[in-house]
Structure 1
Amino acid sequence: MALALTTEEKIKQAATKLFIEKGFAATRTRDIAAEAGINLALLNYYFRSKEKLFDVVMEESLQLFLLGLEEILNDVNTVLKDKIAGIAGHYIDLLKSHPDLPLFILTEIRANPFRMEANLNVKEMLIESNFYKQLEATTQKKVDPMHFIMNLLGLLVFPFISSPVLKAEGEQGKAEFDQLMEERKHWVPIWVEAMLKTLSV
């Protein structure tokens, strides 16, 4: 039997839903309270302002987006090829469960580009990782490794951002889209490896 959500969890769940649907600016605390099934005074008791509630939701969303990534990046027992496959599988599984997560993060961080860096030091985590060192060794510093990181993230994240367009055009249902994403677990590492091989030519 599932445990009932606490009031704080109900508020965060409602806020996450509305922030994703409407964005920070268009979401009112009154709307969040109604979605959570509580009164506004109780919401204000738990979270003194919409900004503080948003910060909590955003931080938890970022943590979810990066959950498990650091372990993959710093596994000294895996070669670069296996790390890329691990990252691909990790993100595809995560985003199949939370397809709205990347667009929410990208949209809101655009309004405050320092939020991710200030909260989670993502850039430092990447640059100091074993994964980054392996990329540097493979590219022999001919190309900035960040190009490959951006390409990898684009191959993994963009399909989820663009999926509403495909679905709206009637090209794909959820089952078809999920199948494509499963196939990308195989293809994305191959494509990234092919990009890396061009440097040895």
Structure 2
Amino acid sequence: MEKQSTEEKIKAAARKLFIEKGFAATKTRDIAEEADINIALMNYYFKSKEKLFDAILEEAFQYFPGKLISILEEEISIEEKVTKFVTTHSEMLKSNPLVPIFVLSELRNNPQKFVEKIGMHEILTDGVLVNQLKREAAKGNIKKISPIHFLINMISLTVFPFIIQPALLTLENLNADIFNNLIDERKQMIPEILMNQIRI
């Protein structure tokens, strides 16, 4: 219990500082001070700042793919699915703003592992959303569109503000509360943008 408590205290401190200052600007000493422990104890649990960073991101990312893929696989309308996906994804990212960094790192260092981890091949070849788009286009209910383009647009429109969040927060009159309001506005805008893309 003590070990778990200390590890969690270190991760909570590191998570807070990584979000506030960024990885590069956060020093090991800063994390130790925030967690109210000495550096030697921190190094006992996590050998380096990089290993601590990886542990936090791996933990945060664990439940992302399953929850989002389950939405894509639901038997509901395309519009309902897009709205639910964008809303859920946005809320998850608001709670875990470091995840996009982890995803970019994984894509750069282990693309095959990442693809296998989230089941990307299955989603893009025989997923419910892919088949819906094809079926509705064949019926003439929506415009024909590449499912890959549709998924890329849905994910990137949702994720990109979180990738550039540190830069946005340097702007005058833009703080965390305003950023979250911006994300809430985008939860309404993005489904409309995507549906306008395929509406007849």
User: Which of 53, 77, 80 pairs up with 2:78?
Assistant: 80
CA 1:122/1:22 → structure 2, altered by over 3 Å: closer, same or farther?
farther
Q: Secondary structure at the match of 1:91?
A: helix
CA 1:14/1:177 → structure 2, altered by over 3 Å: closer, same or farther?
closer
What root-mean-square deviation, in Å, do the aligned CA atoms of Structure 1 and Structure 2 show?
Answer: 3.5
**Would you say the 8 A contact 1:138–1:196 is kept in 2?**
no
Q: Secondary structure at the match of 1:6?
A: helix
User: Which of 190, 193, 201 pairs up with 2:192?
Assistant: 190
> Shift of residue 189 of structure 1?
1.1
CA 1:120/1:29 → structure 2, altered by over 3 Å: closer, same or farther?
farther
Partners in 1 of 2:14 and 2:176 — Cα distance? Answer: 25
Matched, 1:6 2:1: no
Moved more, 64-73 or 109-118: 109-118
Partners in 1 of 2:171 and 2:73 — Cα distance? Answer: 41
Matched, 1:149 2:151: yes
Partners in 1 of 2:120 and 2:195 — Cα distance? Answer: 22
> Shift of residue 148 of structure 1?
1.1
CA 1:94/1:184 → structure 2, altered by over 3 Å: closer, same or farther?
same
Partners in 2 of 1:101 and 1:84 — Cα distance? Answer: 23
Task: Give me the TM-score of the superposition, normalised by structure 1.
Answer: 0.71
> Shift of residue 90 of structure 1?
0.8
Which residue is 1:40 aligned to?
39
Partners in 2 of 1:7 and 1:30 — Cα distance? Answer: 16
> Shift of residue 132 of structure 1?
3.1
Percent pairwise identity: 38
Partners in 1 of 2:116 and 2:154 — Cα distance? Answer: 23
Q: Secondary structure at the match of 1:168?
A: coil
Partners in 2 of 1:45 and 1:67 — Cα distance? Answer: 33
Unpaired stretches in structure 2, ≥5 consecutive residues: none
Unpaired stretches in structure 1, ≥5 consecutive residues: none
Partners in 1 of 2:70 and 2:88 — Cα distance? Answer: 11
Which residue is 1:137 aligned to?
135
Partners in 2 of 1:45 and 1:158 — Cα distance? Answer: 36
> Shift of residue 181 of structure 1?
2.6
Q: Secondary structure at the match of 1:150?
A: helix
Q: Secondary structure at the match of 2:74?
A: coil
> Shift of residue 15 of structure 1?
3.0
Partners in 2 of 1:175 and 1:164 — Cα distance? Answer: 14
CA 1:143/1:47 → structure 2, altered by over 3 Å: closer, same or farther?
same
Q: Secondary structure at the match of 1:68?
A: helix
> Shift of residue 151 of structure 1?
0.9
Aligned length: 191
Partners in 2 of 1:47 and 1:163 — Cα distance? Answer: 27
Which residue is 1:92 aligned to?
90
**Would you say the 8 A contact 1:65–1:101 is kept in 2?**
no
Partners in 1 of 2:18 and 2:46 — Cα distance? Answer: 15
Task: Give me the TM-score of the superposition, normalised by structure 2.
Answer: 0.72
1:161-196 deviation per Cα after TM superposition (whole angstroms, max 9, x unaligned): 344544433354544443333232222111101112
Q: Secondary structure at the match of 1:146?
A: helix
Partners in 2 of 1:151 and 1:115 — Cα distance? Answer: 22
User: Which of 100, 123, 130 pairs up with 2:120?
Assistant: 123
Matched, 1:105 2:102: yes
Partners in 2 of 1:35 and 1:52 — Cα distance? Answer: 18
Partners in 2 of 1:172 and 1:28 — Cα distance? Answer: 26
